[in-house]
A and B are shown apart, each in its own frame.
Chain A
Amino acid sequence: MTKVDLKNIRPYGDTLDDGKVQLAFSLPLRYGPEAKEAARQLAIEMGFEDVDVVSAHDLGGSFSFFVVYGKCKHSVDVTQLHIPKVEVEQMDYFQTNDFIRDKLGRKITVVAACTGSDAHTVGIDAIMNMKGYAGEPGLERYPWFRAQNLGAQVPNETLVAKAIDADADAILVSQIVTQKNVHISNLTRLVDLIEAEGIRDEVLLICGGPRISHELALELGFDAGFGPGTLPSHVAAYIAQELVRKEHRTSARLAEER
């Protein structure tokens, strides 16, 4: 068998390095041979070879939809990639609670919200609610967490005020609506606000949502970001471990200063 070349990774259809890719897109063109040819040429412009428009549909009016196959000419050198990942050792509900009891010896306070105009609480509810998600209990169920879910459409100012009020260890923000990148500006505003309040070093700042990655979160000034597929235990374990790490760092610094 041919060996995979990590320096030149290409899409796989049924043969190594065949570069096969499927695309689906619409064009603002009346359905017909010209539209189909436009779709084919566009795929070539995108860097595909052996382009095949396998399906073309009239969307009515002046729009057409295409399913296209092509061979991708390009490749990626995987050996050069560096992806920031949330540093966490997997622990389940029981392990995390025990860990907090043994290593921290106090309850962790978390304040969470869907901020700005976002009314979609499905993500934050999955992580926070007593009932949890996918068979896992949410943070509200953890005896070693004091978890407060503020719900939907919470202004950043309110969230920060509540966090200060509760002396929160961590702030969780969920952003689902991403139209026109509203989540980016909203998350950035939160970071600015927290820095202005002078509490940035005192809280773990965590965001989550279907379009959130850890890399994006770091870029925006958060401590961590959780994307789709995140379970409550991931978030709980991260917060617990990171707080313990943080305490170690603080006590080490204090020892040095002494």
Chain B
Amino acid sequence: MKLNLDTTRIARCRECAGDIADTIMEGVNRVTTTTIERTVCRLIGIDGVDSAGVPLPNVLVDMLHEAGRLASGAACYVGRAIVATGLSPQAIAEKVAAGEMDIVSFDSVEHDLARAALEDLVAKGIARIEANAERRRELMEKLSPGIEPLIYVIVATGNIYEDVNQAQSAAKAGADIIAVIRSTAQSLLDYVPYGATTEGFGGTFATQENFRIMRKALDETSLETGRYIRLVNYCSGLCMPEIAAMGAMERLDMMLNDSMYGILFRDINMKRTFADQHFSRMINAFAGITINTGEDNYLTTSDAYQEAHTVLASQFINEALAHRSGLPDEQIGLGHAFEIDPAMTNAFLYEVAQAQMARDIFPNEPLKYMPPTKYMTGDIFRGYLMNGMFNLAGVMTGQSIQLLGMLTEAVHTPHIHDRYLAIRNAKYVFSTARDLGCEMTFKPGGIVETRAQKVLDEAAVTLEQVREIGLMAAIEEGVFAGISRAPDGGRGLDGVAEKADDYWNPFEDEISARLKKNGGGACD
């Protein structure tokens, strides 16, 4: 540890976060959601849309939900239909969509038979995810996995084919990670759009076909550059586990997957989000996908200096919840950001304190470091320098994933050369100061160390308070990002159902068992 932080205080924070997470998990384990059941449908091979463009998993699950049957899970109904008709899940979904079949009309089929009917399909779904994880391992070994801080850039043209051009260009210039930003407001859609898309606002729709197109393009570039180029998308919003499943099927490498982001910033109901994030994280854990948490977002609404401790508190909670979904430390990319007002004297020292503190407290986690955005004004020259300072803080404190700042932040979604210039900036700073962190110690009791200890102390107080009243009440009180959300407010609560005694999710069962076997942590 580079900063002489109080280790008992750190342990206390972890203990608090663990208790907070356990309480949340009690609620999570009692319910299922429409998107969790749609995920099950997707993983047993249901895909495509009906004549009105509604995804077939939605058609099927909506029908179950309307019939009050969500509580048992979609799997047993599909299983029964297979036994009764001998059709494939896809054919069943098509018939249901065409109004030729009632999915709840096979109640006479024994539950055990329904389970047995799905056995091979579940094994096939699991095998596809495993094969992707294996393929990633092979490619990482064969090619270079990249040197940390890994260079992470965003493409967001709205058109997947244009995104491919920009992504390949960025990867050739040195980017290790490409994130395809989603179209604005996709997080509020209670379905996942279908097929290749060429229209979007502020980003490109996350669809399985778009994932596949980009994966193929980046694999080509990986072979060309000799570096494995990672692909990122967004496991957030109302379809968290479905996106996780699609990412697992198409070999994405990272997913933005925060436990509270949707609640705070998208006003999605908290019961829905906590349940969805759990299953999505289990899938990510099993697929070898690294999650990126979203603490950086707090600082766009709250003051980065004043509210630094809420970022740390949230990192502890995100970590605790991630462990309970079977994610090992190595797949938990905790987020934070370089957002302190640059007009503040010694702002850079406080940034370094925050970043080094995160590194010391979470030594095995691939920390995701987010660039300045709040104080980017369109002054591209000053912005370029601020991004240089951000890159310096990143390399000297050993951050793992550096999301590069764009000099044109606050002006437009990046142009092709904005990204190129950002990569040049990062490559220069990372190279010129590569081992600075190893050469450096912090003055005991100096500005940096004192600041980090203060943030840790404040985070401990916050976590104690949250444990006392519970996370849901804390969110209601506006502890995080100054935003208040009620337990029964927000979008998506109507898609939450209490599980019945016969609830069955074969993928949850199977993935949970596999994660335990792999020693990846115990799933609740």
Contacts and interface: CB of A to CB of B under 8 A. Distances in A.
B414 to A, nearest CB: 12
A12 interface: no
Interface in B398-428: 410-413, 415-417, 420
Contact of B267 (A63, A117, A151, A228): A151
B374 interface: yes
A86 interface: no
Contact of A26 (B185, B300, B301, B416): B416
A39 interface: no
A210 B410 contact: yes
A65 B410 contact: no
A97 interface: no
Interface residues of B, number: 37
Interface residues of A, number: 29
A60 B172 contact: yes
A63 B413 contact: no
A117 B199 CA distance: 14
A61 B158 contact: no
A107 interface: no
Interface in B472-524: 482-483
Contact of B169 (A61, A152, A153, A180): A61
Contacts of B293: none
Instruction: Summarize B's interface: helix, strand, loop or mixed.
Output: loop
A65 to B, nearest CB: 4
A179 B300 contact: no
A129 B165 contact: no
A122 B265 contact: no
Contacts of B201: 117, 177, 179-180, 182
A119 B168 contact: no
Contacts, number: 80
Interface string B258-292: 00000001110000000000000000000000000
Nearest to B307: A131
B303 interface: yes
Nearest to A209: B410
Contacts of A151: 267, 483
Interface string A198-237: 0000000000001000000000000000001100000000
A26 B418 CA distance: 10
A109 interface: no
B169 A63 contact: yes
B301 A129 contact: yes
Given A60-B173, A61-B168, A178-B412, A122 B300 contact: yes
A182 B201 CA distance: 8
A26 B184 contact: no
A24 interface: yes
> Which applies to chain A's interface (DSSP): helix, strand, loop or mixed?
loop
Contacts of B171: 60
A59 B378 CA distance: 23
Nearest to B373: A122
A153 B158 contact: no
Contacts of A65: 416-417, 420
Nearest to B411: A210
Interface string B178-208: 0000001101100000000000011000000
Contacts of B346: none
Nearest to B306: A131
6 contacts: A65-B420, A117-B184, A118-B184, A131-B302, A179-B202, A228-B377
Interface of A: 24-26, 57, 59-61, 63, 65, 117-119, 121-122, 125, 129, 131, 134, 151-153, 177-180, 182, 210, 228-229
Given A60-B172, A180-B158, 16 more contacts: A26-B416, A59-B416, A61-B168, A63-B169, A65-B417, A65-B420, A122-B373, A129-B301, A131-B303, A134-B343, A151-B483, A153-B185, A153-B188, A178-B412, A179-B413, A228-B410
The 8 A-B residue pairs with the shortest CB-CB distance, nearest first, are A60-B172, A117-B185, A65-B417, A117-B184, A177-B202, A26-B417, A60-B169, A59-B169
